[in-house]
């Protein structure tokens, strides 16, 4: 299951639409890192609203995505972690340290606009 990546102004929005295998997650990681350079994006949003489980591998991959993209000069926000999923992650011991998160896509965009005033999607 491939994850569509939408380009909006200087942002990239990846919306995960169903359960992903480990390989799908790594493909998403490679695609995002590449796209940031290709489109000279400043911000990336990964929407995980549809994910019903974020286990240690998925969490590590999301964290890696955020860290790699930061090294490429852009900001990443993970949006839409569901309440049950957040609960399970904490119980499992996962904190996604140093990764920005927001409630939903709207909040994620608002966060990036604030962090990156020169890249705001809607000036």
Partner 1 sequence: MQQPLPDAEAQYCVPVASVNDIVTARLQGRGLAQQLGFSPGEATLVATAISELARNIVQYAGKGDIELRSANNGNRRGIVVVARDRGPGIADVRLAVQSGYSTSGGLGMGLPGVRRIVDDFQIVSDRQLGTTITVTKWRG
Positions touching partner 1 (CB under 8 A) are 19-23, 52-57, 59-60, 83-85, 87-88, 91-94
CB closer to partner 1 out of 84 and 106: 84
Smallest distance from the beta carbon of 49 to partner 1, in angstroms? 14
Smallest distance from the beta carbon of 4 to partner 1, in angstroms? 19
CA distances from 40 to 12, 52, 116 (A): 10, 31, 14
Smallest distance from the beta carbon of 21 to partner 1, in angstroms? 5
* CB burial string 43-56: b at 16+ within 10 A, e below: bbbbbbeebeebee
CB closer to partner 1 out of 98 and 114: 98
Contact present, 3 and 20 (Cβ < 8 Å): yes
Smallest distance from the beta carbon of 22 to partner 1, in angstroms? 4
CB closer to partner 1 out of 65 and 85: 85
Sign of CA dihedral 107, 18, 6, 22: positive
CB closer to partner 1 out of 3 and 120: 3
First to last CA, the chain: 34
């Amino acid at each position: 299951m491939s994850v569509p990546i939408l380009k909006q102004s200087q942002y990239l929005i990846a919306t995960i639409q169903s359960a992903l295998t480990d390989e799908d997650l790594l493909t998403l990681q490679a695609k995002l890192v590449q796209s940031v350079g290709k489109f000279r994006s400043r911000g990336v949003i990964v929407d995980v609203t549809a994910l019903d489980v974020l286990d240690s591998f998925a969490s590590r991959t999301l964290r890696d995505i955020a860290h790699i993209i930061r090294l490429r000069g852009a900001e990443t926000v993970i949006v839409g972690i569901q309440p049950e999923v957040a609960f399970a992650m904490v119980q499992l011991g996962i904190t996604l340290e140093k990764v920005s998160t927001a409630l939903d896509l709207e909040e994620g965009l608002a966060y990036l606009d604030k962090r990156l005033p020169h890249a705001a999607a809607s000036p």
